[in-house]
Structure 1
Amino acid sequence: MKLKKLKWVHNFLNIYNPLFGKMKKTDTFSSDIQFNSILIFSTTALGDFMFNTPAIRAIRAHYPDAHITLVSSEKNRLLVENYDQIDSVVYWDNKIRNLLPIALQAKKYKPELAVILHSHLPYDVLFAVVAGCQYILRNTYDVIPEWFRKWIVAEYKPQSGHFIQRKLNLLKSLDIIEKDISPEMELTCKYTPLDDSNKVIIGFQLGTSSPIRTWGVDKFVQLAEKLIESNPNTIIKLIGSSRELSLSSVFLNKIKPEYSNNIVDLIGKTTLPELISHIENMSVLVTGDTGPLHIAIALKKPTVSLFVTADPKISGPYQDMDIHQVIKKEYDPSYEHPMEQINTDEVFKAIHNIL
């Protein structure tokens, strides 16, 4: 958290709100208020949005007649543009230079409540006030200073537990009862099923958003060869974004030539709906902690997920646990790269436990 930005926004809002804003004192908030227009923030990565879908669904169920506007990121447009749990969507890149015109778009819907599930402090709070909200609930990842709490009804300190559950816990302030909420993630865009489900298709997500969470390409090559040798009919599909093209090049250069017909390289070649279609027909997906893992979980497709520096109790599978194999190692600094601690044999065994 950048304290200087926080203080600037705080001082600005102290001037702006009495003149132009509608923010009310937090002690006037009550779960009995019937909100007619709600702003929900989910402006970060694909996986973060997937974690937020149970909370969004719960808000819709609790306020069936409210107009719900989602503040999303442009990169998630294909996920959210036809999302049946929301009424409208505006796209914001978390940058202050683009805040005013997008906040004014949201203001047209006369939002009364902002529920910030995942965004960037403090500009998300500034956005909510400029958009005309009266109250703000915010899932936080940093301790919020006491002097800034006048803008937020809840919450001020990071929670523990899985990200999905943290979002659902936040909704208790709205009297949305946990026993009435399903924690299952959902896919929010249409895709076309593929007609090759009779094959053993194993997906490899080679990259992650952070190199420290990425299993080595050499390990993936070893695993592919081991899988094909055990079953020559196995198809390996490489998935990932265009940012990961270099990983597929290394993989294809290192795999034995006689196995090249068993490899389908999709990295950088699919739209989001196409990627979902390919994941949907996989027998199992092998991946680190990244967006496609959460797509597979939402699709109820088996996964083998690899964790060292990340914690699966926070960001791993949270539903249908019987179809997911999680490999978690405690970080050992003697390894040059943390993910080297996970060896090919244990991933191979986990795949066969699923198959």
Structure 2
Amino acid sequence: MRILIIGPSWVGDMVMAQTLFECLQQRHPGCVIDVLAPEWSRPLLERMPQVRQALSFPLGHGAFELATRRRIGKGLKGQYDQAILLPNSLKSALVPFFADVPQRTGWRGEFRYGLLNDVRVLDKQRYPLMIERFMALAYAPGAELPQPYPQPRLRIEEQSRAQALAQFGLALDRPVLALCPGAEFGESKRWPSEHYAEVAELRIREGWQVWLFGSKKDHPVGEAIRGRLIPGLREESFNLCGETSLAQAIDLLSCADAVVSNDSGLMHVAAALNRPLVAVYGSTSPGFTPPLADQVEVVRLGLECSPCFERTCRFGHYNCLRQLEPKRVFDALQQLDTPIGVD
């Protein structure tokens, strides 16, 4: 069985897609799984043992470019028995159609009849979790999903981890608290930097070090957190936001003894590394995309106006995050059995 996956465009979604890959291997032992996805996702896919290869998709998110999609599809013709589409867009169905894949599976969306020949109708009540919606595509319509659900798990190679530690001059002589203060989705997912700084200070005073992770856009937030730490404590924090590649961020996160993160792609990466994790939720809900790990504490206020799933607060106050006091998060950290060291 040769299966082509049309992958999602977000880090967290790609991590959660590993649950589908695991289900496919359980249902079709020995199957070949290739994933067509943006090039940035390669470090994730290379760390998933279920995936044979990552196929780089050259178009940016939202680009249509019919001729390019036709060319890619024609180049894949005859190589796959089934294609499974995780995005619900019409354009995501074009490559498998042009590749003439015999079975093209996906949820109904954006007038894809004809492009898909195995169209599923989503029952959101039956499948409230995103991973359930991914996993269901591995089975016949209406089939019961196997229990317990698989959890994403990324494979780490010691050599690449050691190289990342050496490149950034990091040592594991003290427990590591990883902070992930960014969120690509928008401001409504970002716990305030001053709250992160309070948690960082408390941990550093207990003999920990703090590593900050995120994209280049998150670098100023990392500096704001460090800037709130007094001299003597500030030197025990390292702002890696925008400094690492995604591959290096994954390898370095695997060293963390505990992680505090907004609801973001890096939250799901930390969960897939099975790091003790405190997940901070504001405008979104753990009832849809919870972190899947053995040691997780979810912290949220659950105000009347949340979850709203908006990128910015319609009221302008962001109280679902601003009123979430650092003590709540620090107490959640205390509930985790840390430190546990590097796997």
TM category, shorter: 0.7 to 0.9
- From 7, 15, 29, the counterpart of 1:50: 15
1:170 deviates by: 2.5
Specify the alignment match of 1:4 in structure 2.
none
SS at match of 1:313: coil
Tell me the number of residue pairs that the alignment of Structure 1 and Structure 2 aligns: 311
Alpha-carbon offset, residue 144 of structure 1:
5.7
Q: Following TM superposition, by how much is the alpha carbon of 1:64 offset from its aligned partner in structure 2, in angstroms?
A: 3.6
Q: Distance in 2 between matches of 1:198 and 1:121?
A: 48
Letter in 1 for 2:2: S
Q: Does 1:203 align with 2:175?
A: no
Would the aligned equivalents of 1:137 and 1:153 in 2 still touch at CA under 8 Å? yes
1:129 maps to what in 2?
A: 97
Question: Quick check: 1:107–1:131 contact (8 Å CA) kept in 2?
Answer: yes
User: Out of 235, 242, 250, which is 2:216 matched to?
Assistant: 242
Residue type of the alignment partner of 2:21: I
- Cα offsets for 1:93-125 (capped at 9, x unmatched): 35322322322332252x232111x22500111
- Determine if the alignment matches structure 1 residue 312 to structure 2 residue 256: no
Match of 2:188 in 1: 212
Q: State the partner residue of 1:348.
A: 330
Match of 2:154 in 1: 187
Instruction: Flag the structure with larger Rg.
Output: 1
Asked whether the 8 Å contact 1:42–1:72 carries over to 2, the reply is yes
Whichever residue aligns with residue 74 of structure 2, its letter is: L
DSSP 3-state at the match of 1:275? helix
Q: Does 1:70 align with 2:45?
A: no
| RMSD of aligned alpha carbons | 2.8
- Does 2:252 match 1:278? yes
Determine helix, strand or coil for the equivalent of 1:245.
Answer: helix
In percent, how many aligned pairs have the same letter?
A: 17
Residue equivalent to 1:255? 229
In structure 1, stretches of 5+ residues that fail to align are 1-35
Q: Give yes or no for contact 1:164–1:183 (8 Å, CA) kept in 2.
A: no
The structure that is helix-richer by fraction is: 1
Structure 1 position 298, deviation (Å):
1.5
Output the TM-score relative to the length of structure 2. 0.80
Which one of 317, 320, 332 corresponds to residue 336 of structure 1?
317
Change in CA separation of 1:180 and 1:303 when aligned onto 2, cut-off 3 Å: closer
Choose the corresponding residue for 1:106, options 76, 92, 114. 76
Q: Offset at 1:83? A: 4.8
| Amino acid in the other structure paired with 1:172 | Y
Corresponding residue SS for 1:154: strand
1:153 aligns with 2:134: no
Measure, in 2, the Cα distance between the counterparts of 1:64 and 1:176.
18
| CA displacement at 1:137 relative to structure 2 | 1.6
> CA distance change for structure 1 residues 301 and 259 in 2, over 3 Å: closer, same or farther?
same
Q: Is the 8 A contact 1:58 1:181 kept in 2?
A: no
- Hey, what does 1:41 align to over in structure 2? 6
Contact 1:112 1:132 (8 Å CA) reproduced: no
The one-letter code of the counterpart of 1:330 is G
- Cα separation, 1, equivalents of 2:45 and 2:78: 19
Length-normalised TM-score, structure 1:
0.78
Report if the CA contact (8 A) 1:42-1:119 is conserved: yes
Residue 37 of structure 1: CA displacement?
Answer: 2.8
1:107 is paired with a residue whose SS is: coil
Mean CA deviation greater in 131-140 or 295-304: 131-140
**CA–CA separation in structure 2 for the residues paired with 1:339 and 1:350:** 16
Distance 1:318 1:82, change over 3 A: closer
1:56 Cα shift? Answer: 0.9
Q: By how many angstroms is 1:53 displaced?
A: 0.6
Partner of 2:261: 287
